[in-house]
A and B are shown apart, each in its own frame.
Chain A
């Protein structure tokens, strides 16, 4: 029973997506109840399966009574279980937040379709984390890209249609190059199962190095389009800033990370770290990542719209994650995984508090944030926590991920990237600190200086506060998450 929980997890998410349009006939409370119950189930069952997997080594589920070589296989190990917990817990908070916020963003008749799309999105992300089959991963990836475009275009505005179409075209090019890469890998290995491929590729990679390099090139390019790695990030600012705020939080903090997880699976599980290193691929990844860390921050400095600024900041943060991956070491990978989680929480805190500001004050321009700390103290404090974390102030989770990354860089002996991290942190400070300073130290035009807790709906405030607490507690006790990440890394590098 406990072994099958991940499958139930997937089924419940899919069933919820189907049930919502059946039950919802314009009754929003019904949708809220169904989605809350489903998310509680998903979160609790992911936590249970993580607790179970930590005790035993990890196991796999094969469907349809086939052997794992031809059937579709789900692998539940420390890695996939940890990220299932991350996805479901963070999505739970964002969905609870969205119950109030979405009423400002989209029309009433669309609530049903919005939550249907969100649950299919979650289903696809969970599937991508669990799956151990390359083609199955491609199918989940396509479901994910279609639904993530659809939750952008659900807002009936011209800009959203354009952003969704651009996202869709680039996403499709990305998926197609991934499929091409899968075809090339299938050509030399004759398998689609990740475990089987990794066994065969160990013997044959010296026979067909060109083939494997081209395949990796196709797949990495495709996944980097989807994960918005620097030169391929062009779709991201429009898509993430136009989407309804809960969708932006979902897209920026979870969806992009799922592609990172897929990249890690490909590099470490399918091909293997030693082969990737001997094919000279890591330097390319680290250089591109370093470029992204600098350029993303520089673009973010010029933005006036808060959501666009946060979107560009994501480009820079994805650079940190890929830098950690590109080091190809245990420390680098654990720093990258840690940053996946800590950036997920920080970026969703930033997007959700920006959404709360838009909801309460209808301000998007950062020039208008003067004195906002007095009118919306809770929101702005959470915003400041996350922003300080992004800059890398000790005590917040972002500091710990930068610290781990620094240790990994020193271990790998490439001190050049140390400077890149420092410069990028300064650039982060250049665009985040003015917002905090003007919110708390400047006066509003109305001259209000009495601190008063804002009257936001509880379902918006509570998730924000929980995320804020998580950011601080990871900052002080990184071991809470690091112990699981060490187990997860052990399943990837052996």
Chain B
């Protein structure tokens, strides 16, 4: 029972760690370039989740100051604001990576990383 409650209390950390590992596994093991980018996106999501959840205060309200309530508890808004920046960065990285993948697909006619490596080595040995 104690274990169960401690798992429930830290479910955000466990979830973030699990997503991080799933994403990293996808990036490192899949040979399809698109899946690698998806893996990076999963990793990004895990960190965003983690960052936002550490700013949560239990029973806190959204941090909009109302003059009538003076004793209200607010959620920490800083992590959420930071993660907005993080999301923008993540989107631009994904866009750039996808554009590179399009170029690679046009050049090699495949999305498979190992096939691309083989073909590129053939090209360089012919030079």
Contacts and interface: CB of A to CB of B under 8 A. Distances in A.
Interface of A: 70, 135, 139, 142, 146, 149-150, 153, 158-159, 161-162, 164-165, 168-169, 172-173, 176, 179-180, 183, 186-187, 192
A165 B100 contact: yes
Nearest to A139: B85
Contact of B36 (A70, A149, A150, A169): A169
B93 A158 contact: no
Contacts of B85: 135, 139
B24 A173 contact: yes
B120 A186 contact: no
Nearest to B96: A146
A176 B100 contact: no
A161 B54 CA distance: 38
A149 B97 CA distance: 10
B97 A186 contact: no
B124 interface: yes
Contacts of B78: 70, 192
Contacts of B79: 183, 186
The DSSP consensus for interface residues of chain A is helix
Contact of A139 (B54, B89, B97): B89
B104 A161 contact: yes
Interface in B6-36: 20, 24, 27, 33, 36
A180 B46 CA distance: 9
B33 A165 contact: yes
A180 B100 CA distance: 26
Contacts of B123: 158-159
A1 to B, nearest CB: 31
Contact of B47 (A146, A153, A161, A179): A179
B54 A187 contact: yes
B104 A180 contact: no
B104 A162 contact: yes
B68 to A, nearest CB: 25
Contact of A180 (B33, B47, B82, B89): B47
A186 B54 contact: yes
A172 B107 contact: no
B92 A146 contact: yes
A180 B19 CA distance: 12
Task: Give the interface residue-count category, chain B.
Answer: 20 to 34
Contacts of B97: 165, 168-169, 172
22 contacts: A139-B85, A146-B92, A146-B93, A150-B96, A158-B108, A159-B123, A162-B104, A162-B120, A164-B100, A165-B33, A165-B100, A165-B104, A168-B97, A169-B36, A169-B97, A172-B40, A172-B97, A176-B40, A180-B20, A180-B47, A183-B47, A183-B50
Nearest to B100: A165
Contact of B107 (A70, A158, A187): A158
A159 B120 contact: yes
**Quick one: which of A142, A149, A168, A183 has the most chain B CB within 10 A?**
A183
Given A146-B93, A165-B97, A186-B54, 8 more contacts: A158-B108, A159-B124, A165-B33, A173-B40, A176-B40, A179-B51, A183-B51, A183-B79
Contacts of A153: 100, 103
A180 B54 CA distance: 12
A140 to B, nearest CB: 11
**Quick one: which of B20, B43, B47 has the most chain A CB within 10 A?**
B47
A180 B108 CA distance: 35
B97 to A, nearest CB: 6
B86 interface: yes
A146 to B, nearest CB: 6
Given A173-B40, A173-B43, A179-B51, A161 B93 contact: no
A176 B43 CA distance: 7
Contacts of A173: 24, 27, 40, 43
B40 A161 contact: no
Contacts of B75: none
Contacts of B100: 153, 161, 164-165, 168
B105 to A, nearest CB: 10
B44 interface: yes
B96 A169 contact: no
A69 to B, nearest CB: 11
Contacts of B117: 162
Nearest to A176: B43
A146 B116 CA distance: 22
Nearest to A191: B78
**Quick one: which of B33, B51, B100, B124 has the most chain A CB within 10 A?**
B100
Contact of B120 (A146, A158, A179, A183): A158
A40 to B, nearest CB: 31
A347 to B, nearest CB: 24
Interface in B65-119: 78-79, 82, 85-86, 89, 92-93, 96-97, 100-101, 103-104, 107-108, 116-117
